[in-house]
Structure 1
């Protein structure tokens, strides 16, 4: 039964099967911490940039309305309902960024590690592991090289981020974006260092990992190979330099307004309210414009911090608790309510 719009609703919908129980709780906007203080107009601008790709009629209608919305906060409150989706896992926020590397179009004594495009034979089945690719030379002399970089650790982190810029020796810059993977599961090398007793969880960061691998080149290579996942790239230099990298929706993402989510729970393109705790708390309306192999679960999110070393340092420090609340069109929100609810 449809309930009155003015009520603050709390309803759970169970999903059975291989996944843990998933619940959907409909909230009111006054239950979102800091909602009234956010810059809703900034979020609306980001939402407009990708909502044009929605095919479903209800989303398409809301996108048309977004183009003529005068008051951004009123727009979201009028046409959306906040939905808290939970799957039994605690909320976790991490950060990511667009790296900048130095490289060359041709290999030499310094630039020896290739940034590869996707091999044409890769399909839906798992392909070779990272170790087999790098140790076995499966991609050598196949013409798949986009560029060459100087450090295998920087290449590894470029793959984790999924996009980046490479400043070439001739003074030009190319941009690379996600092109595909080998279909192997992602393993955190930070967690591997903790498992081996080398560091405590609070000590691990991208800079710590990078430094350890450089100090221990042999063991460092073995550490990188514990992650079977391997990311391939494509050149996307047509994206203007003042725009963010392309996300999963093939649109530029925006620093501190775009997040990566698990699309099994959160529709790509949807507005998402985040309440991140930690040393740098953040209550903000974002847009789900990206995904990631390590982003799994209803309450798992990766915040895009921007481009370059400074953004990388900020992103690398983020591992915070909190929650995400998805904004869905009103009719979709009410459709999640159990039919027996009175």
Structure 2
């Protein structure tokens, strides 16, 4: 079982997959690159292997294999003396050779470059001076991009302060749900804008109080963005912190919009799945397991919902492009398969990161960008992998929980902020 991971800024994390009444619609809106990524990872989750993102280039015969670790490729440009370790509040960074990065010679770097271009909309100070080169290299070959990385950046193995380089990889996504602009015809569960006067520094009513107290309901009167069919769908949206809604409008048209994180009631997050396990009510606390228990115990569904006192408020946003994800905590749109959430006290926003996760479910070796965070994404070697939007992305996210190693790619001769 993977516990939900809620995000305090822009998004809220979870690991529970869902099936939407809009599954066929969602599949039709997945971009070719994203669809390919989801197919590959989904296949890996089922059979334990991951298809390569592109045909690996043949190793150059001029590269001295003898100096590389087993399975790696040494790079002739990577010969400068290694700098000393760098420290962050929650991590220690150890400089290494590029040859230590598993799969570095095979990654389809153009996909990561798309995410990096988005980071350059709001670059961290050490990376702002590189953004001109990053933009220029968007049309370069993977070999040219790799050579530039080796010349410009220094890889650092991310470890805990006591030297542990092993951590945990999970995943999250953006659900797609049917909704209505007005209540009725089975749509009874509101998704709310933040109430007037909400103070981020003062706790507001709990989820149970919002459902039961007239004064809390009065404060939210007229604040509904849309209405969902199921309380569990609303809970899923609250846990993820962002989603896409296919909204039936009053004129019978259908709008596709995003609802993005706009704040919380300031109450602590508690995992409903963990509540079920602690009560001894289930052995399977996956999202299908939670739905099955709720269907079998409808009279106790409020207990499950109220076990999490945190309530999330949203704002409605247009969808500019269907393949762009919601904005992460860095303030830029997330890229499916190339954006991660990290503990910002370990890795600063906007940092390119090499991610290696050997499985057992979906081996991943690729460059990603640290563009988001989460209240439960804590620790030096900890990442949440953004899989995209819709049911396929949810299926991948719902299964992914495995070991992890990270390398921060930092500008050469640049201290940490």
Superposition pairs for residues 294-309 of structure 1, below 5 Å? Answer: 294-309=376-391
Tell me which of 42, 46, 50 is aligned to 2:111.
42
Q: 1:97 aligned to 173, 182, 200, which one?
A: 173
Question: Which residue matches 1:158?
Answer: 237
1:293 Cα deviation after fit: 2.7
Cα distance in 1 for partners of 2:404, 2:233 equals: 30
Is 2:327 the counterpart of 1:246? Answer: yes
Greater relative contact order (Cα 8 A, min sep 6): structure 1 or 2? 2
Q: Please, which moves more after superposition, 163-172 or 324-333? A: 324-333
Q: Is 2:156 the counterpart of 1:83?
A: yes
1:135 aligns with 2:212: yes
Q: Is the 8 A contact 1:256 1:303 kept in 2?
A: yes
Q: How many residues are matched?
A: 324
Shift of 1:107: 0.8
* Contact map agreement 1:52 1:60 (CA 8 A) in 2: no
**TM-aligned CA distance change 1:321 to 1:194, over 3 Å:** farther
Assess if the C-alpha contact under 8 Å between 1:156 and 1:224 holds in 2.
yes
d(CA) in 1 for partners of 2:414, 2:268: 32
Deviation at 1:179, TM superposition (A): 0.9
Name the counterpart of 2:397. Answer: 315
- Gap regions ≥5 residues in structure 2: 1-77
Equivalent residues of 1:205, 1:317 under 8 A apart: no
Structure 1 runs (4+) deviating above 4 angstroms are 12-15
Within 5 Å, which residues of 2 pair with 1:136-285? 136-137=213-214, 138-140=216-218, 142-169=221-248, 170=252, 171-200=254-283, 203-276=284-357, 277-285=359-367
Q: Deviations over 1:158-178 (max 9, x none)?
A: 111111111122322221111
Shift of 1:25: 1.8
Matches of 1:34 and 1:55 in 2, distance apart?
26
Quick check: 2:282–2:293 contact (8 Å CA) kept in 1?
no
- 2:191 matched to which residue of 1? 115
Matching of residue 328 in structure 1 with residue 410 in structure 2: yes
Distance 1:75 1:101, change over 3 A: same
Unaligned runs of 5+ in 1: 16-20, 337-342
Aligned equivalents of 2:157 and 2:305: distance in 1? 36
The separation in 1 between residues aligned to 2:281 and 2:178, in whole angstroms, is 30
CA distance in 2, matches of 1:26, 1:136: 56
Aligned partners of 2:256 and 2:319 also within 8 Å = no
Q: Give the distance between the partners of 2:212 and 2:413, measured in 1 at CA.
A: 53
Q: CA-to-partner distance for each residue in 1:107-159, whole Å, 9 max, x for gaps?
A: 11411111011123222223222222223251445321110101111111111
The TM-score, its normalising length taken from structure 1, stands at 0.86
CA contact (8 A) 1:10 1:27 kept: no
